[in-house]
A and B are shown apart, each in its own frame.
Chain A
């Protein structure tokens, strides 16, 4: 290692521990002295560079950060509150939507679902019978009236037909009960004239303020039932 190289190495890095730099110092006393001088110079530079640090700087830094993060936390709390409120509102709306909107969007689907739901409740051979007077009392709610009995009426009562107050009539049929609904008109459910599935079929009659829906099994003659109903029913308004 020549002198210039050695000097450059030491100047650039006074505590240079490279093997050849150390070896060069061992061989040559003047190089060793030079390295010592520069190390001394470096010590002085270091001393000079140690400018006094303001005493309160550390505290200031911590204080400033504490204040800044406090602000952030306050902002975060507000955001969280807003988020929680939004979630609550959306939850409320969803609940509303699920409870008060119909799962079915036409009369036929709903009628079938309703009949299946109450299938077990009615026995075709039940002895109980509802009189025409009792039926017409109930029909008064819909401003309707039957002039004569349509068949053997096993059951007549109000029910909820897709959240609308309706009249649910069950007549004795040939093999299974025949269900008749008297339902106020509603825009939510589209009128379906004829509908059916594997076991049941149904048909609707449209009047001015109400629909009458007949659901029966496939042994019945729906047209006969419909004819019978439209012949006997009359509406007061």
Chain B
């Protein structure tokens, strides 16, 4: 029989990475993302008995995290510009070409409006279907699909628009 402690540790080990990444793309700050994840798991521990279906764990945790994030905005209402935050993130780790591109793309993702980036993160990192995302974000499926389309479309356009600059940076 699994004790609550064992269930919790399994949950942490399996999902903390995805949850942290999701939190990061939600708030664009490493420290805040970490705090959010900590707060989320603490709440999850308290409510762990209410989680009946382990398969639903990820979306359950994401729901808690979104609520935590919303609370953060109730507490403090200042908002730094997204572009700055994105540049703060990790300039130091730019070493290989792959990482350079990741870095560049990260910036572009950060510049997407939140309503586009959030479903995209849920789809790419969370592996959720359009319907799952619609339920989690309380939107209808068509809206979610449209936002996903626009998000990718914008990223593709951005990639196509700046080949020269990227070439220079890479070289």
Contacts and interface: CB of A to CB of B under 8 A. Distances in A.
A223 interface: no
Interface in A8-66: 8, 11-14, 38, 41-42, 44-54, 57-58, 60-62, 64-65
A129 interface: no
A58 B16 contact: yes
Contacts of A48: 101-103, 105-106, 109
A44 B101 contact: yes
A68 interface: yes
Nearest to B145: A12
Contact of B20 (A41, A54, A62, A68): A54
Contacts of B123: 13
Contacts of A147: none
Given A14-B152, A49-B21, A57-B20, 20 more contacts: A13-B145, A41-B156, A45-B109, A46-B124, A47-B105, A48-B103, A48-B109, A49-B25, A49-B121, A49-B125, A52-B90, A52-B93, A53-B20, A57-B16, A60-B38, A61-B12, A61-B37, A61-B41, A64-B41, A65-B8
A11 B20 contact: no
Nearest to A47: B102
A53 B21 contact: yes
Chain B residues touching A, range: 35 or more
Interface of B: 5, 8-9, 12-13, 16-17, 20-21, 24-25, 30, 34, 37-38, 41-42, 45, 89-90, 93, 98, 101-103, 105-106, 109, 120-121, 123-125, 130, 145-146, 148-149, 152-153, 155-156, 159
Contacts of B42: 64-65, 68
Nearest to B153: A11
Contacts of A51: 20-21, 24-25, 89-90, 106
Interface string A206-227: 0000000000000000000000
Contacts of A53: 16-17, 20-21
Given A64-B38, A68-B42, A50 B149 contact: no
A1 to B, nearest CB: 15
